[in-house]
Every structure is written in C-alpha cells, then in structure tokens.
Structure 1
C-alpha cells in the first residue's frame, strides 16, 4: 500500500498561497506572492531534490500541474523524476493532460486517491495543490506531512489547514534547519486526538480509550 505524502511551504501563520512568485496565485487579491524566495539556500534545494527522488508517483491539482508542466519539461536532466514518473491530475475543468506520463483522474477525487493508495508501490507525493490538499485532509487520506515553515507572517492568504480538516494527531519524526531560518518539520499520522485537563496542584490526566497508567510523580496517562 502506498503512502500519501504532502510537501508544502507555509508561513508562521500557516499561509501557503503563492510562495514562489508574484503571479503564482492572486486569488482573493493576494499581494505577497514570492514570500519564500529570499529564504532559499543550498540545503533547501538539496532537500527538495531528495524528496522528489523518493516519489513513485505525483498527484497534482490543476493550478500546480499547469505551472509545473510549463517549466519542468525544460529540464536537461534525463532522469528528472517530475518528467519521468507518473503524474495524476485532479481537475474538474481539464479535459486532457499533455505532459509526459500524465493521467487525468476521472470521477470522485477522494475515491480515486483511495484506489491509488491501495496499489503496491512507493510514495504518492503532493506538491503545492492547495485546494487538492483540503480535499485530502477532509477525507483523512494524508499519511505524512513535510512542512517547510518560513520566518514570515502575512496575516492573509490561503492556509494549509482550512475548515473541514478532520481532527487527528501527528508525531514529529524529523526536523531540519536551513541557513536562512526556515525549518523543515516532518510529521507522520498518529491516530486520533488525546484529551486531558490541567488544574493547578492536581494530576494531569490524558484520556484515551485503550489503557491507563501513571507516567510519573503527580501525572497519570491513559494510553
């Protein structure tokens, strides 16, 4: 079974809109396109190249697909993964896709992604594709989040976690820092939420439905 991996860039206040250029996405009158560019360094490029090499297939929304299809075919690297590996496109408006190894998903996107995940193979990678990511989060289809967070606050714009995201928990499996202050966080799905209540001078109890044990002096955890 394949894992679905979302890689994205966000500001400190969670905005992911138009990180790479002024005209990338002006929806809603967005005026801050290109906000991540000053924070790109050599390590950032190395990590991104390593990510794409791990992809078995790519999954895009329409806007990101069209943007990538306009630039990546010009690459001189004969084994560039974005050119050589299958690319699935979720779109209600496109009728054909011409980039090498591109396949237009037909029917319900969530159901089609479930079918892709059920197949044998490596990572299904999602890059950009903000609207598509919302659909994937709403249907609980994301296994891994690779989030580059940049030391920028915008106050406006499309955010990674919008309304409709299913409550769940993740565990942090890796963190890296580049030379410009951008931080990479890699999270793996870790099931549902745990809840508790903190009161001054009282035990802290974390509730779960499986079992219960004390974790130390004055603290009891339910797992």
Structure 2
C-alpha cells in the first residue's frame, strides 16, 4: 500500500498561495506571489530531493499540474534529481475541467470524478514508493477532510503575508499530529514532517 504524502510551502500565518512567483497564482487579487524565493537555499533543495527520491507517483491539482507541466518537461538533463522524477513517474491530475486530449506531459492521467475514492484505490494498488501531493491546495483540502493523507511535509518560511489561501482553513477537520522529524535550513525555513494521529484530545489546567 502506497503512503499518501503532502509537501507544501507555508508562511508563518499558514498561506500556501503563489509561493514560486508573482504570476503563479494571482487569483483573488493575491499580490505577494514569489515569497519563497528570497529564502530558497541548499537545505531546502536537499530536503526536496530527499522527498522526491521516495516518490512512486504524483497526485496534483490542475493549477499545480499546469505550473509543473509548463516547466519540468523542458528540463531534459537525466541527471537532474527533480526533473528526472517528475518527468519519469506517473502523474495523476484531479480535475473536472481538464481535457485529457490536451494533456501532453508523458505519463499523465486525468481523474475527473470520485477523486477521494480513486485516491484510496491508488493507495491500495500502486506497487512501490509514495503517492505524493505537492502544493495543490484545493485537492489537499478535499483529501484532508477524509483523513486520506498519511504524512505531511510542511516547509514553514519566516514571513507573514496576512492574506492568501491557507492550508488549514476555517472548518478544517480537527486533527492531532505526531512529529516524525524536523530541521531548520540556513535561511530559517522550518521543515516539519508530521503524521496524523486522529482527533485531538482536550484537557484543562
């Protein structure tokens, strides 16, 4: 059974929107795209390569898929540790609007409906490696609500934006986590690997 993991970049106030550049995701009037760039360092790169080395397949939302598909197929160096994984492994795109006939990135399959059920099936049938979500906020929200994500890699950057789409939103499923590992990179990115353990416990002092 494949482990379903989520890897995402977050600000201190939980924003995940538009990390890679100003034009990446300006929806809703978001003006702060590219907030990851000033903090990107060797520690971040090392961690991302470690994550991708465990991948068996990728599960992406449409927006993230289109961002990736617009760049990574052009990186053809077989020694590139990120491009070789993204280009060579199966990619599943959860979208009700993407036309499979327009998909040109090799190894891509579109999931049009019953996404949680299909993801549960993929977890059961993938032969090896992790089924990895990267970014893909709307997809992540739908799977978090059904307790389908087995492990979270949260890269928390030392910046506050005050606006933008967040990973953990109002009405999110109450969930407790255990810490698997943590580290801090040279520029101050705090990387936490967490595993859901069920509903929170409560008490009183």
TM over 0.5: yes
CA offsets, 1:122-143, max 9 Å, x none? 2110001111111111111111
Whole-angstrom CA distance in 2 between matches of 1:77 and 1:164: 44
Unaligned stretches of 5+ residues in structure 1: 199-223
Q: Which has the higher strand share?
A: 1
Relative to structure 1, the CA distance from residue 111 to residue 164 in structure 2 (aligned partners, 3 Å threshold; closer, same or farther) is farther
Q: Residue 194 of structure 1 aligns to a residue in which SS?
A: coil
Unaligned stretches of 5+ residues in structure 2: none
Q: Which residue of 2 aligns with 1:4?
A: 4
Contact 1:138 1:164 survives alignment (8 Å): no
Q: Which residue of 2 aligns with 1:210?
A: none
Cα shift at 1:59: 0.3
Q: Which has the higher helix share?
A: 2
Whole-angstrom CA distance in 1 between matches of 2:116 and 2:123: 11
Please provide the CA RMSD for this pair: 1.2
Larger radius of gyration: 1
Contact 1:62 1:94 survives alignment (8 Å): yes
Whole-angstrom CA distance in 1 between matches of 2:20 and 2:172: 25
Q: Which residue of 1 aligns with 2:68?
A: 68
Which TM-score applies when normalising by structure 2? Answer: 0.93
CA offsets, 1:140-185, max 9 Å, x none? 1111000000110011000011234221211011111111111100
Q: Residue 198 of structure 2 aligns to a residue in which SS?
A: coil
Higher relative contact order (CA 8 A, sep 6+): 2
Structure 1 residue 100 corresponds to structure 2 residue 106: yes
- Deviating above 6 A after TM superposition, structure 1's stretches of 4 or more consecutive aligned residues are none
Q: Which residue of 1 aligns with 2:116?
A: 110
Corresponding residue to 2:188 among 172, 177, 181 = 181
Whole-angstrom CA distance in 2 between matches of 1:118 and 1:53: 20
Q: Residue 23 of structure 1 aligns to a residue in which SS?
A: coil
> Paired residues, what number?
198
